[in-house]
Amino acid sequence: MRLDRELPATFAVGAELKNTVCVLDGADAVCSQHLGDMAGWESQQTLAGTAAHVLALYEVTPTRWAADTHPAYQTRAWAHRFADVPLIEVQHHRAHAASLLAENHLLGTPVLVACFDGTGYGDDGATWGGEWLLAGADVLDRGGAAIVRRASLLEVSMVGGDTAVREPWRQALAQLHRAGIAWSDDLPPVAHADPPLRRMLAGALDRSVAAVPTTSMGRLFDAVSALLGVRQVITYEAQAAIELEQLAAGAARGEPAGWVGDGAVAGAGGWRPSAGQDSRQAVLDPAPMLTALVEGLRAGRQPADLALGFHVWVARAVLAAALDTRAATGVDHVGLTGGVFANVLLLRGCTALLREAGFQVVRHRLVPCNDGGLSLGQAVLAAADGRE
């Protein structure tokens, strides 16, 4: 990637999953091949070898390194062990946003970025993943400080950490609990869990035991997949969300502008704009949508129509955030990034609604929307944050 301005030489170690590394020198940034997930020793050896290779190949001597802020990431620990220059930690979703803007030559343009993924360590220690970030026109001067969190999905507890990722029924019950919807046996995730497990989960949610707050859009997709009876337990990453998209695509009629699906779900609302200057009050509450889904199931509506209605609901929420932001700031560029936007149905739907409302839509073309593109954003923000 050719950047709009020269920046100090920087090496970014990338994310924990779908890892790539990035070398930035002046106005040129180069991402490596896909290296994979960094949990194992062999993967970390590949990371070390690739880092040495790309730095030698492009004859770059970094003046700083960049890594994710997540305290448990192996890439962060590896960087702390081997960096021989200042190491700058970059928040996960700001790196996603910077990656998108760098690829599209918009680092000097104000952009509202919808950043939806499964997991990212937030500023407050919570697991983020359903964020709207407002990037200012001065990212290359101020780095991550120029990208502020404007809104998010409403927090819900994720009980059991990675277990909740592997077993979407847990997140479905957590979402129902947060929305005040009773765990009735006619609902698929409730029927899947035996009574002792349900009692355990209810107690954990009531007392916030072994529960991490999350705003993850990826986990909401998992929860809806479980609620509609699509997938209660996964065997590979994002399986529940992928199968939910496939189900919804079967109900779609033509291009996104002609979506049908369940109108009650699609129009359920839940967007609560910020009050005054306190951007933390801007949230998307899924409770009305979940209520509509449950009512639709009990009325005998087709799960495919309900799944499509959920996708339209998310797209309309992206539009609502964009309209609020444009009214408050005049920003008319909206970016879409994060692993959730590997969902083609959602990506096309958001694009259609935003363009119809007069927004300039910013999407990935060269760099992955998922964590494979994170190293580029890390490098750009670390270079700008550490500017001398």
Residue 151 belongs to a domain = no
Within this chain, do residues 270 and 316 fall inside the same structural domain, yes or no?
yes
- Total-model pTM: 0.95
Within this chain, do residues 340 and 375 fall inside the same structural domain, yes or no?
no
- CA separation for the pair 176, 197 (Å, rounded): 16
Q: Which residues in 185-196 are b (16+ Cβ under 10 Å) and which e?
A: eebbbbebbeee
Residue 234 belongs to a domain = yes
Residue 343, both tokens: 């969902």
SS3 26: strand
| Owning domain of residue 43 | 2-104+368-385
- CA separation for the pair 251, 312 (Å, rounded): 12
Within this chain, do residues 15 and 53 fall inside the same structural domain, yes or no?
yes
Residue 148 belongs to a domain = no
What residue has token string 């059991």? Answer: 160
Within this chain, do residues 25 and 97 fall inside the same structural domain, yes or no?
yes
Whether the CB-CB separation of 355 and 257 falls below 8 Å is answered with no
Instruction: Sort 85 into a burial class: Cβ within 10 Å, 0-12 / 13-18 / 19+.
Output: middle
CATH of the domain at 12: 3.30.420.360
- CA separation for the pair 275, 176 (Å, rounded): 26
- CA separation for the pair 379, 24 (Å, rounded): 6
Whether the CB-CB separation of 104 and 362 falls below 8 Å is answered with yes
Within this chain, do residues 45 and 85 fall inside the same structural domain, yes or no?
yes
Within this chain, do residues 350 and 204 fall inside the same structural domain, yes or no?
yes
Within this chain, do residues 218 and 321 fall inside the same structural domain, yes or no?
yes
Within this chain, do residues 164 and 96 fall inside the same structural domain, yes or no?
no
Residue 115 belongs to a domain = no
Residue 118 belongs to a domain = no
Please list, in sequence order, all residues whose beta carbon lies within 8 angstroms of the beta carbon of residue 89, skipping any fewer than 6 positions away. 66, 67, 68, 69, 76
- How many CB atoms neighbour CB 136 within 10 A? 17
CATH of the domain at 265: 3.30.420.40
Residue 55 belongs to a domain = yes
Domain count of the chain?
2
Q: Which helix (H) or strand (E) holds 104?
A: none
What string of pLDDT tens digits covers the 388 residues of the chain? 999 899 999 999 999 999 999 999 999 999 999 999 998 888 889 999 999 999 999 999 999 999 999 999 999 999 999 999 999 999 999 999 999 999 999 999 999 999 999 999 999 999 999 999 999 999 999 999 999 999 999 999 998 888 999 999 999 999 999 999 999 999 999 999 999 999 999 999 998 888 899 999 999 999 999 999 999 999 999 999 999 999 999 887 765 656 778 999 999 999 998 755 444 578 999 999 999 999 999 999 999 999 999 999 999 999 999 999 999 999 999 999 999 999 999 999 999 999 999 999 999 999 999 999 999 999 999 999 865 4
Within this chain, do residues 298 and 314 fall inside the same structural domain, yes or no?
yes
Within this chain, do residues 84 and 35 fall inside the same structural domain, yes or no?
yes
Within this chain, do residues 176 and 314 fall inside the same structural domain, yes or no?
yes
Residue 83, both tokens: 């960096």
Residue 25 belongs to a domain = yes
Residue 70 belongs to a domain = yes
SS3 271: strand
Within this chain, do residues 87 and 212 fall inside the same structural domain, yes or no?
no
